[in-house]
Structure 1
Amino acid sequence: MKKSRFQMPDTFIIIFFVVLLATLLTYVIQPGVYETKEVTFTQNGEEQTKTVLDPDSFTLAEEKISVGIFEPYGGVGFLNYVFEGLVSGSKWGSAVGVVAFILIIGGAFGIIMKTRAVEEGILSVIARTKGRESLIIPILFILFSLGGAVFGMGEEAIAFAMILIPIIIALGYDSITGIMITYVATQIGFATSWMNPFSVAIAQGIAGVPVLSGFGFRFTMWAVFTLVGIIYTWMYAKSIRKDPTRSIAYDTDDYFRKDFKESDIKARFSLGHGLVIGTVALGIVWIIWGVVKHAYYIPEIATQFFTIGLVSGIIGVIFKLNNMRVNDLAEGFKQGAKDLLPAALIVGMAKGIVLILGGDDPASPSILNTILYGAGNMIDGLPTALSAWFMYVFQSVFNFFVVSGSGQAALTMPLMAPLADFVGVTRQVAVLAFQLGDGFTNMIVPTSAALMGVLGAARLDWAKWFKFQIKFQLLLFTLASVFIITAVLINFS
């Protein structure tokens, strides 16, 4: 059989051409700027303050950005996008904080994998779940969906994917199934949440809607989307288990399958392996406690995972797991970080796209501000249900550039909330359009740091993931459109 000459471009190549397009846009679109103001709202009994744009203050900048080929002295030129993207931001977010987060998590799990505790644990799981493997899919999907809905789980899924994807593959499924029940499940929960503190709560506060209101409609929506996700994943996983070669990830999954050859199928789970697994389990409880109780974020979680890896490595040396010596801690860390380096680089490159367009600060001239203003004018004057639907479409597209839920809320909700009043849509519907648009496209845009980290953990190229995910995205888009229109018809408020 003759192979097709077409080869799907690598993610690095795709981003390069998107940067090129963004550079060309700076020559044809006039950058705009907004004035900003402080808004306050009550969340969990505490007063919160957020800096947002003033929707009536938009003005065009006097000069175009006109990005050059190369800019010296820390400027942003077309060829500067990799470095400037990688060093942008702070330790609290994209890109430099997320890059460090991904590398540290990769290193920590490199140490854990060096002990072989995960592999031995997987073999024990396989032996004890004979005939009941399919139960793993709905149970984990619901748990991860709840994680996204309750505390905005996103980047944390990278670590869980590292643990669970090898298990899922060993059970006869593929890495795509593993990504669906971990990261995709979190984003379904994130998008349909009734209480997510990082998106819906902030958006409601900015829009002047009672924070955490609309519970009934949103909880029903969460249940429906989670059920759809479970059924879709279960049907796909069932077909892959019948014939693993049908998976587009079959070749890359061999990285994990080689640890579970027939000659190695017998588990040799020892006390030392159990202590490592226990350390990981207690560490995850520690992380969840920190996120829920103390709002731990990237710096704290990265250090927590480093601690988990370090303790696991010390246990490995003491119990001589996999013949470990002290230097193997360093080797494991380096190998783990190396494995996730491509994902970390993509995070920086993707941030470079936003920098080329002028950044995402509403108070600084940028192409994104002009796009935001133009979208608002385009929606004005449309029928009510169509206006709400276009709000959803716009939020989905805008999420490519600003993946952060709280960041997108601060940029778009001050404009969409008063626009909703003008076109006859309730502000609650405007918030709904925001959260659905923000959450679902997180599963497919290469600018999502969490997605790229999970794909890195799965050794799966973004182009292959896109090929699989696009059908599911169309299903989610159709169902979300139905919920948006239904919300308009029932005057959801």
Structure 2
Amino acid sequence: MAKRKGDFPTAFTVLFIVLIFAAILTYIIPSGSYAKLKYEANKKAFVVTKPDGSQEELPASQGTLNKLGVKVDVGKFQDESINKPVAIPGTYEEVKSNPQGFIEVLQAPIKGVYDTVDIIVFLLIIGGVIGILNNTGAFDAGIAALSRATKGKEFLLIVVVTVLISLGGTTFGLAEETIALYPILIPVFVAAGYDAIVCIAALYMGSSIGTMFSTVNPFSSVIASNAAGIAFTEGLSMRLIGLIVATALTIWYITKYGKNIKNDPSRSLIYNERDEIKEKFLKDYDPKNILEFTLRRKLMLIIFGLTFVVMTWGVSTQQWWFTEMTGLFLFVAIVLGFISGMGEKRFVEKFIAGAADLVGVALIVGVARAINIIMDKGLISDTILHYSSNAVQGMNSSIFIIFMLLIFIVLGFFIPSSSGLAVLAMPIMAPLADAVGLSRDVIVSSYQYGQGLIAFITPTGLILATLALVDITYDKWLKFILPLMGYVAAFAAVMLLIQAAF
């Protein structure tokens, strides 16, 4: 089909535009690097990698850390609370420029797919499981039952989903795992009279708000506090208050939008795509011809639901990652195939068809990683951090903390990994708080809020892969989310000023 005049580019095109922009930056921003410190457990020693690539082995002692200006308890390295290379303050050096040209840009998406193959396989297996469930009619029967149960109280879907996902985000960094929920919940929200954006907002913003106001999340609050040389409980009460208020604000915003489109569907930002979305997610669902919610279908949905409980347990307590999660869903797919009684040939056919539906989404994850690869190879992330740390020195404390929020918004675009940004930035930025009379927990909060805010919209994160699930263009999401982003940004700034004052 020919592209209609005025259509916004697809997610792939947006990502390639950002990829080219990142490559251009490698020609403009000088290459540079901090020396990095890593604990080698097998040697029981620190290994320092200098900007020129040379390495030096040092004793794994508190004295070594103090001498290097890394104000962290040595035990945090030895118990692997900090297991990534940490930037050493005062060691930044410009290095030989490594601009990324045409060949590098061309190869980056391929390398990005290699780097994210664990996520990609996870998505494909999830697609296969959903293909099995769709074929059995379990989803359609379940949607009908849920629609009857929530009749007149559909707003509870928004409240329950946003709160639960926010809790997952604040406790163990629930983010990539939510991708599995979109194909399941979008039909439920659409059948309830909402549009797909309401479902995306409840899931994506629930996760984003939860991780932005992380309380005990080991991948942000804990590792950032460790790298800053403080206990993660410092500043915890303020972040908890922020979590409650920001989650409530997000629910109000989504509910308001949802109520408007239930009253007048033409006010939906994706009104023109409503038929295509219903065809994709509610193809076999007919409220006038409800499938019987049989014991077999109930059992299949119960098993599928329990899979997410097991996954949450594994990620939060057993250090599971994508290999374990993917294995879990593959096992569940086989179990559901047996229960369904559909036979081996039909099982394989529907599983592959379901996986095929998510191939485009999986590839977007790889292309998004390509942007990070270009910036890493161009050696510009450390330079941006160095310039930022110099810019805030000598500022008034109130101006300083707001400026820190802005800095982490920028850094969060270039370094979307929460743990990666924490170990790179905290040893450099946290000591700056001492110079302006602030406690270091304020820096940890500014890091969380800044990276959390940019995650609402950054193409290098999960949002484009999420939108691709429903074929919603990026401009529609921006139109929906930017007002809420403004509200949350203003609230975060106020919270930082209050935290700094006390």
Q: Structure 1 residues 236 and 395, CA, compared in 2 at 3 Å: closer, same or farther?
A: same
In the alignment, the residues of structure 1 paired with residue 336 and residue 433 of structure 2 have an alpha-carbon distance, to the nearest angstrom, of 53
Q: Structure 1 residues 452 and 307, CA, compared in 2 at 3 Å: closer, same or farther?
A: farther
Work out which of the residue numbers 72, 86, 97 in structure 2 matches 1:64: 97
Cα offset, 1:259, TM superposition: 3.4
Q: Is the 1:41–1:205 contact (alpha carbons within 8 Å) kept by the matching residues of 2?
A: no
Identity fraction in percent: 34
In the alignment, the residues of structure 2 paired with residue 20 and residue 453 of structure 1 have an alpha-carbon distance, to the nearest angstrom, of 19
Q: Is the 1:11–1:461 contact (alpha carbons within 8 Å) kept by the matching residues of 2?
A: yes
Q: Is the 1:116–1:273 contact (alpha carbons within 8 Å) kept by the matching residues of 2?
A: yes
- The yes-or-no answer on 1:288 pairing with 2:301 is no
Q: Identify which range, 236-245 or 96-105, moves more after superposition.
A: 96-105
Q: Is the 1:340–1:453 contact (alpha carbons within 8 Å) kept by the matching residues of 2?
A: no
SS at match of 1:9: coil
Work out which of the residue numbers 349, 355, 364 in structure 2 matches 1:346: 364
Q: Is the 1:151–1:197 contact (alpha carbons within 8 Å) kept by the matching residues of 2?
A: yes
5 Å matches for 1:328-343?
328-343=346-361
In the alignment, the residues of structure 2 paired with residue 440 and residue 345 of structure 1 have an alpha-carbon distance, to the nearest angstrom, of 25
Q: Which residue of 2 aligns with 1:104?
A: 125
SS at match of 2:414: coil
Q: Is the 2:8–2:474 contact (alpha carbons within 8 Å) kept by the matching residues of 1?
A: no
Q: Structure 1 residues 462 and 333, CA, compared in 2 at 3 Å: closer, same or farther?
A: farther
Q: Is the 1:111–1:310 contact (alpha carbons within 8 Å) kept by the matching residues of 2?
A: no
Work out which of the residue numbers 433, 440, 443 in structure 2 matches 1:430: 443
Deviations 1:419-468 (A, max 9, x none): 2222333211000001111223223212113x344334344333322232
Deviations 1:207-243 (A, max 9, x none): 0111233332121111110110111111111111112
Q: Which residue of 2 aligns with 1:270?
A: 294
Deviations 1:180-220 (A, max 9, x none): 22221121111112211110111001101112333321211
Q: Structure 1 residues 245 and 333, CA, compared in 2 at 3 Å: closer, same or farther?
A: farther
5 Å matches for 1:309-388?
309-316=333-340, 318=341, 324-359=342-377, 366-388=379-401
5 Å matches for 1:405-444?
405-444=418-457
Work out which of the residue numbers 286, 293, 300 in structure 2 matches 1:261: 286
Deviations 1:377-420 (A, max 9, x none): 11222221111111111212222222221111112111111122
In the alignment, the residues of structure 2 paired with residue 460 and residue 416 of structure 1 have an alpha-carbon distance, to the nearest angstrom, of 38
- The yes-or-no answer on 1:177 pairing with 2:198 is yes
Runs of 5+ consecutive residues of structure 1 not aligned to the other structure = 71-76, 89-94, 319-323, 360-364
- The yes-or-no answer on 1:191 pairing with 2:184 is no
Q: Structure 1 residues 40 and 343, CA, compared in 2 at 3 Å: closer, same or farther?
A: farther
Deviations 1:295-334 (A, max 9, x none): 2122111211222222112211x2xxxxx33223222222
- The yes-or-no answer on 1:203 pairing with 2:228 is no
TM-score by length of 2: 0.86
Q: Identify which range, 350-359 or 373-382, moves more after superposition.
A: 350-359
Q: Is the 1:27–1:66 contact (alpha carbons within 8 Å) kept by the matching residues of 2?
A: yes
5 Å matches for 1:105-254?
105-250=126-271, 251=273, 252-254=276-278
- The yes-or-no answer on 1:85 pairing with 2:112 is yes
Q: Which residue of 2 aligns with 1:92?
A: none
Cα offset, 1:115, TM superposition: 1.9
In the alignment, the residues of structure 1 paired with residue 281 and residue 82 of structure 2 have an alpha-carbon distance, to the nearest angstrom, of 46
Deviations 1:22-66 (A, max 9, x none): 2222222221011112455778x96623321102110000x2112
In the alignment, the residues of structure 1 paired with residue 334 and residue 266 of structure 2 have an alpha-carbon distance, to the nearest angstrom, of 37
Cα offset, 1:5, TM superposition: 4.3
Q: Which amino acid aligns with 1:55?
A: P
5 Å matches for 1:20-59?
20-38=20-38, 40=73, 48-50=81-83, 51-59=85-93
- The yes-or-no answer on 1:306 pairing with 2:339 is no
In the alignment, the residues of structure 2 paired with residue 216 and residue 272 of structure 1 have an alpha-carbon distance, to the nearest angstrom, of 46
TM-score by length of 1: 0.88
Q: Is the 1:41–1:49 contact (alpha carbons within 8 Å) kept by the matching residues of 2?
A: no
Q: Is the 1:149–1:192 contact (alpha carbons within 8 Å) kept by the matching residues of 2?
A: yes
Deviations 1:143-172 (A, max 9, x none): 111111112111111112222111111111
SS at match of 1:259: coil
In the alignment, the residues of structure 1 paired with residue 98 and residue 91 of structure 2 have an alpha-carbon distance, to the nearest angstrom, of 20
Deviations 1:351-373 (A, max 9, x none): 212222234xxxxx701111111
Q: Which residue of 1 aligns with 2:16?
A: 16
Q: Is the 2:413–2:451 contact (alpha carbons within 8 Å) kept by the matching residues of 1?
A: no
Q: Structure 1 residues 147 and 41, CA, compared in 2 at 3 Å: closer, same or farther?
A: farther
Q: Structure 1 residues 467 and 332, CA, compared in 2 at 3 Å: closer, same or farther?
A: farther
Q: Which amino acid aligns with 2:114?
A: V
SS at match of 1:199: helix
Q: Which residue of 1 aligns with 2:469?
A: 457
Cα offset, 1:269, TM superposition: 1.0
Q: Structure 1 residues 124 and 426, CA, compared in 2 at 3 Å: closer, same or farther?
A: same
Q: Is the 1:41–1:206 contact (alpha carbons within 8 Å) kept by the matching residues of 2?
A: no
Structural RMSD (CA): 2.2
Q: Which amino acid aligns with 1:308?
A: V
Deviations 1:71-99 (A, max 9, x none): xxxxxx122222122113xxxxxx23222
Q: Which residue of 2 aligns with 1:73?
A: none
Q: Structure 1 residues 412 and 126, CA, compared in 2 at 3 Å: closer, same or farther?
A: same
Q: Identify which range, 409-418 or 17-26, moves more after superposition.
A: 17-26
Deviations 1:457-481 (A, max 9, x none): 3443333222322222122111111
Cα offset, 1:68, TM superposition: 2.5
